[in-house]
Structure 1
């Protein structure tokens, strides 16, 4: 197999972004390239064209590689449901929920098999595989049962490039310490180093580069600058929060309720392309302020997160906001919370069958949780009873367990291609609930909704921002910027000549 693996000295050092850039660089050179990450832990997922679920980061990397995302690119996805348990999504399908200990004891052999099978499929279909690791390869307590770093490099038999984040400090210790903790055969796989998130004059770090190369015997393949506002989806909500923070305040203020088990926070990513929109996460009542609109996003644990909203007194803020005529949209779990009642019939949300809780009473609806998860891409258009303009198409995807029943007639939001009436749309158009993730990635819809808010504030309306075109530009810009700071020829030599070097 031709390829390479991007590993890091820690989490959040930039592995996902670098993998994305390398995928686009190779794709732009005409290489048939695929991303791969054996195991992802994230509630931010991506639905493939076949209606299967993988990590969001690999979906984005597939887009950068100019190919269709498949389950083989991320065969194992762990979706945290509590501090102790995660739902296991295996080859795109939810299978069971296990504790961390139970997962390590029960799943390791099966994990190795599915990773090997996935790599075999990708090797047959693509010329090059760019593999992303997770966390650090130097977690010695996990070495005997790890499925994400050096074991994967061994299975794929590819060289490794180690990435370190200089912005957090301690870059020399992080690199040397990581290498010292690797086994001799693992250490031999590390063929290059990348320093990421550098600020300032690179000339001031030349001595540091020389020291690292002399100390480790491994070439530094690039020193990448700290990239601000790259607008490429990250793997976790922390990366999104950083991008939001860097934007600062704008004319229109959208508050997003930050749920403990928030999922698919990339639903709000498209607002970063709107010049007059600021988005901020709200974690408790003191941060609520006076937003122009509120979004309650999806969650992997609806009832648990609803209870947190109530404990933090955010429910009172939300209800008062609606009473005062505010604009509010609930997506998936947020939609379910806005109803009058949630029933966990078989314990699929909480683990305890028969639990009934009161919702926020913002939407006349009831949600019942069943066992079978619905994961599907959908297309539709505005429901004929809404006050929205025209018959504009809507695309997105559903990932949910609950079935929500609307009690009021003629208050649906969408009509789907399969004939299903979906969501809730209030008579005044200010309150909306839907199961459709990526709603705001529909540019015409997002523009119409934002212009209603702009008009209500007596602000000028804006033209439609077509984010898909901008996204492609972002992938190319990311790749171009990184290439200018990388020894790209040497990286390709390492990748293509690995067999001869061993």
Structure 2
């Protein structure tokens, strides 16, 4: 097959961003390109058009490639449910929950089989496959049964480009050390090096480039700049921390409860582009402060995270915030946490059938967990009982095991296209609960909600920022910026020669 694989010297060196940029570069050149990552470990997921679940990064890379996302782009998704166990999402559907040891001992051959099938499927329908690795290819304790790096490159028989992050320091040691720890046949597959996240005067790094090429015998294909506000959704916890840590202070203070098993935090990323909004993560009572609004995001382990929230006494602060007139939104697991009771009827959330816990009691509803997960794209309009009007629909997606039954009528948030009522809306929008992920990616709704808060603070309303209109332009902008610092012709030559061997 014709393709290339981006591997990294560590996690969060920028592999996902590089693959996204390459996909757009090739797509803009008229190549039928497609992204691939054999296995993701992330609770930040993406729902395909046919209602299946893959890693968020591959959904974004599909958009950059100008193709529809499918399960073949990420056949295995591991969603952590505890420090030991992860749910295996296999070809877009939940398969089972296993420990790390159980996964390595029982799933390896099944994993290899679906990776082979996925690569065959993608290569039969596309001209080029851009593959993303995971973590480092030289995790010695995992190498004998790995499904994400050199084994995938071997199955696909593609060259590997090794990416390193200069921003974190130690870039020479990370590159040379990684190459030294590879087996000889693996090292021969590394055909290029990319230095990522460079800041400053590139002329001061030219000696370093020459040293690396002489030391390793491998060409440095580019030194890519550090890209701020790239709008490429993050995937892992490192991305989460980095993306929100340096957000400038704004007049609107939004506190997001940092649940241990937070999922789909891409729900929050649109706030990064609202100039007067300060969004921050809250882990402990000392972080809470006096926010204008609180968001409780989704979680892969609702009851465990609810217990943690209580242990940290954040429940008391959230309830007082509401009593004082503050706004609160619960999304998916956050919606469930705000309810009166959660019943794990099948043990699908905790592993303990019929376990029941009290919620925060803010929303008059009971959530029951069942075996079958609901994964679907959804769209609708404001429910007539909200008193809100809209000229268009709100859309997003649902991923949840629990079903929430409200105890009172006339308080639904949305009227969905499938005829169902969804969510909870109370006190003129002060309290909202919903299963709709990407709610705040709906630009007019996000603007309306923020303007409600602005008005409550005596601030002027603002016009809608239409993020969706220029997100596609961002893909082009990132591709152009990366291409200016990458020897794209040499990369193409590497791919062509390897394929022709």
TM-score class, shorter-chain normalisation, is over 0.9
Cα shift readout 1:136-185 (whole Å, capped 9, x = no counterpart): 11112222111000010011111000001112121111111111111111
CA contact (8 A) 1:267 1:439 kept: yes
Identify the residue that residue 263 of structure 2 maps to in structure 1: 263
**Cα distance in structure 1, aligned partners of 2:82 and 2:240:** 21
**Cα distance in structure 2, aligned partners of 1:243 and 1:140:** 30
CA contact (8 A) 1:162 1:192 kept: yes
Cα shift readout 1:209-266 (whole Å, capped 9, x = no counterpart): 1110001000001111222222211112432332323231011111111100000000
Identify the residue that residue 468 of structure 1 maps to in structure 2: 468
How do 1:3-152 residues align onto structure 2 when only pairs under 5 Å count? 3-152=3-152
**Cα distance in structure 2, aligned partners of 1:390 and 1:148:** 45
Deviation at residue 391 of structure 1 after TM alignment? 5.6
Identify the residue that residue 439 of structure 2 maps to in structure 1: 439
CA contact (8 A) 1:221 1:490 kept: yes
Deviation at residue 457 of structure 1 after TM alignment? 1.2
TM-score of the pair, normalised by structure 1: 0.98
Q: Does the residue aligned with 1:34 lie in a helix, a strand or coil?
A: strand
Identify the residue that residue 273 of structure 2 maps to in structure 1: 273
**Cα distance in structure 2, aligned partners of 1:335 and 1:392:** 24
TM-score of the pair, normalised by structure 2: 0.99
CA contact (8 A) 1:228 1:243 kept: no
CA contact (8 A) 2:386 2:428 kept: no
CA contact (8 A) 2:21 2:478 kept: yes
Q: Which runs of 5+ in 1 are unaligned?
A: none
Identify the residue that residue 403 of structure 2 maps to in structure 1: 403
Q: Which runs of 5+ in 2 are unaligned?
A: none
Identify the residue that residue 375 of structure 1 maps to in structure 2: 375
Q: Does the residue aligned with 2:316 lie in a helix, a strand or coil?
A: helix
**Cα distance in structure 1, aligned partners of 2:423 and 2:392:** 16
Bigger mean CA offset, 295-304 vs 471-480: 471-480
Deviation at residue 271 of structure 1 after TM alignment? 1.1
Q: Give the number of equivalent residue pairs.
A: 501
CA contact (8 A) 1:42 1:55 kept: yes
CA contact (8 A) 1:237 1:265 kept: no
How do 1:194-343 residues align onto structure 2 when only pairs under 5 Å count? 194-343=194-343
Q: Does the residue aligned with 1:40 lie in a helix, a strand or coil?
A: strand
Cα shift readout 1:316-375 (whole Å, capped 9, x = no counterpart): 000000111111100000000000110111110001111110100110010010111000
**Cα distance in structure 2, aligned partners of 1:237 and 1:389:** 37
Deviation at residue 493 of structure 1 after TM alignment? 0.9
Identify the residue that residue 354 of structure 2 maps to in structure 1: 354
Bigger mean CA offset, 192-201 vs 242-251: 242-251
Which aligned runs of 4 or more in structure 1 are off by greater than 3 angstroms? Answer: none
Deviation at residue 268 of structure 1 after TM alignment? 0.6
